[in-house]
Amino acid sequence: MSDAHKSDLLLVTVTLLAAISWMFSKEAVLLMPPLLFMAVRFLIAGGFLAIIAWRPLSRLSRDQLKRGVGVGLVFGVAMSFWVMGLFHGTSMGEGAFLTSLGVLIVPVIARLAFKEIQPASTWLAIPVAVAGLALLSLRHGFQPEPGQIFFVAAATIFALYFTLNTRAANQRTAVDRQGKTIEKHRIPALPLTAIALVTVGLVTLVESLVLEPWQPTFSSPPPLLIWWVLASAIVGTAGRFLVQTYAQSLATHSHGAVILVLEPVWVSLFAAGWFGETMTPVQLAGCGLIFTALIVNRWGALSKALRASFRKRQTG
């Protein structure tokens, strides 16, 4: 099996781990305050990865550490909105599709904030996604649920996080305040992920200290709670990022850009099987439009991968 095929299979595994993590997280927030859950989950996951990445972490410069923490701060705010959406939301499948809107918002932020030119497929995908969002929210007039608002806010901030994370993980040049061109060294994927996850844990810990009661959770924790938290931290967070990082290192050209859009589909299927969730035909149509927008947005990567695969078969 080629490295590209291994990468594709591992990325399918990543989408499954991500979807399973939604189930673990939902079970956990039913038993403890949501922000406290995020703090414990990400501190465990980030600490686990920090131990693995200890040597590369110790070699980072002050500027690299600063940029890594900045990425984590934005990620922490996004995850705070996400977990509140999960806590207040009535449908995890719907929430997963709403969160996936972040993929479509990334090019918009990259264009507005960093003047990056985007392909035409991006601008074709956005109105399709907006139509899908409308079908999810326009029930008896414009009456979005609190969970939907939290998920859409999370998707928007996730888009900023994705953009900053990409810039931090790649070598680039920048202009400082004196007009001098300086080199911004890339932050390796593993230490960058560890820094970001620990920072998310600290951000949500502070939020939880201010906003949530802790005593009920620690005075009489339900027996299953520890398992949901550990499963979410190790399998759904640390495990997922480790597998994804390894998969992306195997091949520069794979179907990964399209495979990752499978996550909301898996979440919907698992939510139906695990929690017995159902969607109305209008909701299903809205999710379908959002999924279509994701495919349109990534059509360039998909068509390129298909052409490369076809050429390889012809030459083979």
Report pLDDT digits (tens) over 180-204.
666 777 888 889 989 999 999 999 9
Instruction: Give me the chain's average pLDDT, please.
Output: 81
Q: Higher confidence at residue 54 or residue 163?
A: 54
| Band of pLDDT at residue 253, cut at 50, 70 and 90 | very low
Q: Measure the CA dihedral 6/10/13/18, to 10°.
A: -160
Rounded to an integer, what distance in angstroms lies between the CA atom of residue 275 and that of residue 272? 6
User: Which of these, 96, 67, 197, 236, lies nearest to 155 by C-alpha position?
Assistant: 96
Q: How far apart are CA 131 and CA 287, in angstroms?
A: 10
Mean pLDDT of 268-296: 82
22 closest CA partner among 275, 278, 285, 314: 275
pLDDT at 195: 94
Higher pLDDT, residue 197 or 242: 197
* Weakest mean pLDDT among 83-87, 225-229, 265-269, 305-309: 305-309
Average pLDDT over residues 108-135: 75
Dig out the tokens for 108 from the structure. 């918009």
> 9: Cβ–Cβ under 8 A, 6 or more apart, which residues?
none
Give the residue with greater pLDDT, 224 vs 257. 224
Q: If pLDDT is split at 50, 70 and 90, which confidence band does 308 have?
A: low
pLDDT band at 205 (very low <50, low <70, confident <90, very high): very high
Q: Which pLDDT band, with edges at 50, 70 and 90, does 254 fall under?
A: very low
Alpha-carbon torsion, ordered 216, 218, 223, 229, to 10 deg: 110
Query: How confident is residue 7, by pLDDT bands cut at 50, 70 and 90?
Result: confident
